[in-house]
Amino acid sequence: MKGRPRLNTAPSELILVPLLDMVSLLVQVLLLNVQFGAYAELPATSVGGAGTASTEALALTIDVEARGFAVRWNEQTGARAELLPCREPCQAVADFPFDTLSALLGALKDQHPSERGAVVRPVADLPFAIIARTMDAARASGGRVLFPDLGLGGGP
């Protein structure tokens, strides 16, 4: 005598092997597309117009020019300027004298420890890597905070 076929009432089992395969594939795809690295930010205030300068007594400005850095500041005796020339062709970070710039800014910080502001003025059409590195050098060097309140822009 035929009847209804018996339903299999055994506890169902989740087949995890294909799921694990899919997850490991997903992991590989995601890892291939990910950019690993540490990111940070360089804060600056946008300043505009020609001749914009720091409002502080030191009035420190760092012009990033095609021939190097032109650093200008005020002293009691009057305005001072120093040109830190770059190495030809002056198109890469390695061509610019960041160590000399850091040393000069460190000496200025020694003389004016309460000053915090500076303006970075990119004058030449240089890659952003050089501008960013200049801002970085102006803010701090060797773990020492120099002029963290940066303005960016201006210039002729």
Partner 1 sequence: MPRRRKGRRRLHTETELLLAAMVDMMVNVLLFLLTLYGAGPGADLGEFELAEARAQEPITGDVHLTITPLLVAVDGSPVLRLDTRDSRLRLPEEDAAFDELASRLDTRRSEAEEAPPLAVEIDRRVPWSVVRPLLDLAAGAGFTDLRFTVASVGEGETPNRLGGTD
Say what the alpha-carbon torsion angle 44, 149, 91, 141 is, to the nearest 10 degrees: -130
Hey, what are 90's tokens?
């002056």
Look-up: residue for tokens 């710039």? 101
19 near partner 1 (CB under 8 A): yes
Least distance in angstroms from the C-beta of 3 to partner 1: 34
Contact predicate 126/64, CB 8 Å: yes
Contact predicate 150/138, CB 8 Å: yes
By CB under 8 A, name the one of 8, 9, 12, 46 that touches partner 1: 46
55 near partner 1 (CB under 8 A): no
117 near partner 1 (CB under 8 A): no
28 near partner 1 (CB under 8 A): no
Q: Which stretch binds partner 1 (CB under 8 A): 11-19, 52-60, 68-76, 104-112?
A: 11-19
By CB under 8 A, name the one of 70, 85, 100, 136 that touches partner 1: 136
Hey, what are 112's tokens?
């004016």
40 near partner 1 (CB under 8 A): yes
Spatial separation of the C-alpha atoms in residues 26 and 42, rounded to whole Å = 34
Contact predicate 150/135, CB 8 Å: yes
Residues lying near partner 1 in the complex (CB under 8 A): 14, 16, 19-20, 23, 27, 30, 33-46, 48, 91-95, 122, 124-133, 135-136, 139-140, 142-143, 152-153
